[in-house]
Each structure stands twice: as C-alpha cells, then as structure tokens.
C-alpha cells in the first residue's frame, strides 16, 4: 500500500513492538489454513468478497472485539494497520509508512530506560488476569506507558541520543530541565510549555520517575531529598484559562445543526448532559446503563474512579434508540472513533456558528466543550455548587478555579441582583428541551423516527 509523508501514525498501535503484538494476536485467532496468507488482499476471492470484511484475512468469530479490548483501540484502527502492513510486521521488517518509525526511535527501543518503562509502568497492578478482568484499567496503563515512553524519548534525544537516561549525569539532565531549572526559557525546547516558558507540567512525572531510577547517586538523590528545582511546584498554568470555553444555551440548541455524523451528535449530547471527559465517554458501553435504577456509570481515568450518575427520561429513550440503531453490543463502546476524529468535527462547528447570531469566540474540542458546558449550564439553571460537584465528581474548589459557574453565578444573582434569563428555567427543563432538538437532528441524519416519552420539566 502506497503511503505519503502525511500518513503518520499517532496514538496506539504505532510502535513496532505494538504492531508485532497485533499481528501475532491476529495469527492466534486465524485458522491454520490462512496463517501464511497476507493480512489484507482485495483481490483474494477467499477474503469476504460479499461482506464488510472484503479484503481482510478471515479470522475466528469475535476476534476484532477481543483485539479492540486488548489493545484499547477501535476496530477501524486495526483494519487500518492491516491495510498499511498487509504482510505484517516482525522483528526483521521495518514499517514503510512515513513517520511510523524512525531510526532514532529504533535505537531508543534498545535502551535500558525503554525496557524499564515497558516492564515497570503499571506492572504491579496489571497482571495478565487483571487485564482480562478490567480492560479499562489495562487501557489506562497502556496510555501511561506511552506517555512515559514519549517524554523520556524526547529527553534522551535532547541529550544527544547517545547516553541512556539511567546513566545520564546531572549536567545532562540540566540540558532537559534548564541550567537554571524553573527559570523561563531555560529548559530544552522539545519539552517546554509554550505558555509558561518552563518545562511542561505533563512531562515532569516521567522525568522525575526516570531520575529516581538513575544509576548516578547524585541524580537519584535530587529526587530522594525533594530538591525544589526538580519538582512540579509552580509549573502549572494559571487556573481558569478555559472558563469562557462553553456553549451558551442558544448555542447548545443550535449545535445539532452543525453536526453531520450520528455518533458525534450523540457524543456531544452525552458530553454536555453528563459532563464527562472523552476518556470516560469513549469507554461508555451499554452495560453501564441501568435502566431500572436510572443510573449511568462513567470511569474517570484522571481520578481513577467510577462515577455513577442519574439518568432520566427522555435521555434514556434517546440513548437506547441510538444503541439499537447502531447495533452496539452490550460491552461495545458507544463511540468508537478516535478523539482526533471527533475534535476535527467539533472544531468545524466554528464556521457554522459564524453564520448565526451566536458566533463562537473559542474553538470547541472534547476537552473544553463538554464538561465546561455541563458545569456552567447547570449553574445557570439553578443547580447548587455542591450538587454539581457530586454529579461531576470534581472538588468544589476546582470547579471555582477552572469553570464558569457555581459561586460566580450565585454572586451575580444574590449580591449583584442580576436576573439570569434562560429559555429553559430549570436544568430539568433544559435537558428535556435539549433532547428534543438533538432527537430532531438525529431523525434528519438517520431517517428514523425517535420516540420520546412525554416528560414535564421540573
């Protein structure tokens, strides 16, 4: 399959070791008579000519569901890798896709630091049995390994890609952190936060972890004694930078018309009503909805906790009809595509809103639009701060610092005497009205009638 420089792998199933593991797993789920044949061949009469699996080597029933859970990716990503590498990837081969590998990274894979990351991150809590029992936890471990590997790889390259990080001296670590750590524009550019000019907060945990395991006593001691030059204090960006990044009530009701994909439509609906991060929404499966108890459960990876939230009508009926229409299995994710796909579609809504009376002055993504909109609209519709905190699973002080809403709205109403005029007077009425406009757009996109029960707002 031909590739271009624009075809660059991102996310999971990017590294050679991951690709080797994928194709090995595919072989294990393939009948013996097919094992020596290509993984993808459009011309083969044996490869599902009359099915959606046309061109893909036959596997045993349920293979893609198993591999999706094992590697924490969508089926489409697995299909993509099979098309890109129809003959597979092994230790002696080199992925030909531009950007998929580099000679430098292949050198990095041979370092003791890389090996330690792959063997140590999450190893204690994630035995093989644990991975089978809890695919969500395995997925989070997989992400953490990738995060640590990426950061340490950048540090290794910043030092010249010659000395293993476990053997690096203090002088070499100061190339990464800066000769005067925590002074603006001193750290290496590849690890710098463009806003603060300091080393990026997200990189500090992997770097400190690596220094902790250093074979150089001087470097290791810096972490043991808690040297302030190498901790995370004062590295975070100022709180509340996205306070204005939320959809107003008018924009919430217009948003469905800006979306053309059914799964993106329902993702935005769930995101704004339940206030979940994308990591939680992407792991949502039908078996996490208890229709009898009116509960829906989200696993929030950031706090490593499952948050159970109430779900009422008409939300329940709308989501259930989406699950049936999309033929989503009990343990299959409701939203299968990558965060990049959904973010691209959300960013594209800016052009739509620019032609309305309610243009956006910010760019929506799953990171900003969903949780910020939920918290703010709940507050504007009279929900108390402590109730929002319990519902979202976020500490009240954090809500004050990072989100527009909560006490800020109360101050405007109770002290400033401002009247908050909302089309829907309560949160209950808001979610009912919102469901109706999303259901209408759903009908336009699918051609299927949505039946919603009659519910009165509170």
pLDDT one-digit tens code per residue, 171-186: 999 999 988 888 888 8
Least confident of 78-87, 132-141, 226-235, 383-392: 132-141
**pTM surpassing 0.85?**
no
Which of 83, 78, 75 has its CA nearest to residue 38? 83
pLDDT one-digit tens code per residue, 251-297: 999 999 999 999 999 999 999 999 888 888 988 999 999 988 999 99
Residues 22 and 71 sit within 8 Å (Cβ to Cβ)? yes
Looking at residue 153, what is its pLDDT? 94
Looking at residue 133, what is its pLDDT? 41
Looking at residue 401, what is its pLDDT? 64
Q: Distance between CA atoms of 392 and 298, rounded to whole angstroms?
A: 10
Report the interhelical angle of 16-28 vs 63-71 (nearest 10°): 150
Compute CA distances 217 → 212, 220, 221, whole Å.
Answer: 9, 5, 6
Give domain 249-446's CATH superfamily: Intergrase catalytic core (1.10.443.10)
Joined tokens for residue 402 = 């990072």
Looking at residue 442, what is its pLDDT? 96
Confidence of residue 410 (pLDDT cuts 50, 70, 90): low
Backbone phi and psi for residue 108, each to the nearest 5 degrees, phi listed first: -60, -40
Q: Where in the chain is the domain with CATH 1.10.443.10?
A: 249-446
Backbone phi and psi for residue 101, each to the nearest 5 degrees, phi listed first: -140, 165
Q: Percent of the chain, pLDDT > 90?
A: 35
Span 126-150, mean pLDDT?
A: 58
Looking at residue 42, what is its pLDDT? 81
pLDDT one-digit tens code per residue, 203-260: 999 999 999 999 999 999 999 888 888 888 877 755 545 567 789 899 999 999 999 9
Angle at 7 between CA 48 and CA 261, to 5 degrees: 65
DSSP state of 74: -
Q: Percent of the chain, pLDDT > 70?
A: 80
pLDDT one-digit tens code per residue, 323-375: 999 999 998 999 988 888 899 899 999 999 999 999 998 899 998 888 889 88
Which of 321, 285, 287, 293 has its CA nearest to residue 309? 293
Confidence of residue 2 (pLDDT cuts 50, 70, 90): very low
Looking at residue 233, what is its pLDDT? 82
H or E stretch at 305 = strand 305-310
pLDDT one-digit tens code per residue, 68-114: 888 878 888 888 888 888 888 765 554 444 444 578 888 998 999 99
Which of 331, 307, 301 has its CA nearest to residue 143? 301
Joined tokens for residue 73 = 């990716």
């Amino acid at each position: 399959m031909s590739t271009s420089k624009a075809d660059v792998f991102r996310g999971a199933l990017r590294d050679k070791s991951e690709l080797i593991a994928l194709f090995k797993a595919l072989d294990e789920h393939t009948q013996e008579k097919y094992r020596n044949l290509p993984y993808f061949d459009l011309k083969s009469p044996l490869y599902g000519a009359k099915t959606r699996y046309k061109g893909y080597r036959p596997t045993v029933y349920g293979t893609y569901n198993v591999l999706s859970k094992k590697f924490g990716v969508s089926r489409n990503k697995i299909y993509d890798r099979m098309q890109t590498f129809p003959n597979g990837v092994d230790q002696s081969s080199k992925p030909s896709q531009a950007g998929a590998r580099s000679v430098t990274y292949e050198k990095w894979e041979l370092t003791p630091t890389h090996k330690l990351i792959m063997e140590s991150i999450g190893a204690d809590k994630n035995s093989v049995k644990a991975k089978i029992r809890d695919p969500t936890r395995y997925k989070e471990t997989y992400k953490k390994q990738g995060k640590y590997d990426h950061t340490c790889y950048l540090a290794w390259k910043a030092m010249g890609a010659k000395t293993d990080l476990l053997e690096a001296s203090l002088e070499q670590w100061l190339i990464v952190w800066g000769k005067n750590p925590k002074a603006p524009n001193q750290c290496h550019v590849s690890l710098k936060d463009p806003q603060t000019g300091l080393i990026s907060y997200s990189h500090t945990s992997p770097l400190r972890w690596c220094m902790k395991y250093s074979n150089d006593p001087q470097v290791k001691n810096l972490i043991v004694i808690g040297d302030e030059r190498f901790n995370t204090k004062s590295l975070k960006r100022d709180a509340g930078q996205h306070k204005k990044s939320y959809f107003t009530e008018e924009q919430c009701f217009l948003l469905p018309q800006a979306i053309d994909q059914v799964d993106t439509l329902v993702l935005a609906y769930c995101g704004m009503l339940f206030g979940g991060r994308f990591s939680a929404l992407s792991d949502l499966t039908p078996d996490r909805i208890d229709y009898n108890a009116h509960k829906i459960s989200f696993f929030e990876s950031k706090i490593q906790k499952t948050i159970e939230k109430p779900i009422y009508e008409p939300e329940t009926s709308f989501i259930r009809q989406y699950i049936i229409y999309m033929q989503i299995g009990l343990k299959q994710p409701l939203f299968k595509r990558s965060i990049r796909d959904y973010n691209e579609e959300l960013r594209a809504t800016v052009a739509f809103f620019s032609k309305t009376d309610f243009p956006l002055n910010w760019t929506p993504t799953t990171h900003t639009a969903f949780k910020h909109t939920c918290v703010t609209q709940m507050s504007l519709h009279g929900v108390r701060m402590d109730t929002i905190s319990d519902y979202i699973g976020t500490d009240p002080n954090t809500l004050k610092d990072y989100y527009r809403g909560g006490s800020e709205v109360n101050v405007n109403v109770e002290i400033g005497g401002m009247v908050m005029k909302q089309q829907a007077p309560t949160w209950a009425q808001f979610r009912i009205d919102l469901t109706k406009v999303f259901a209408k757009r759903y009908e336009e996109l699918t051609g299927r009638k949505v039946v919603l029960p009659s519910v009165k707002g509170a």
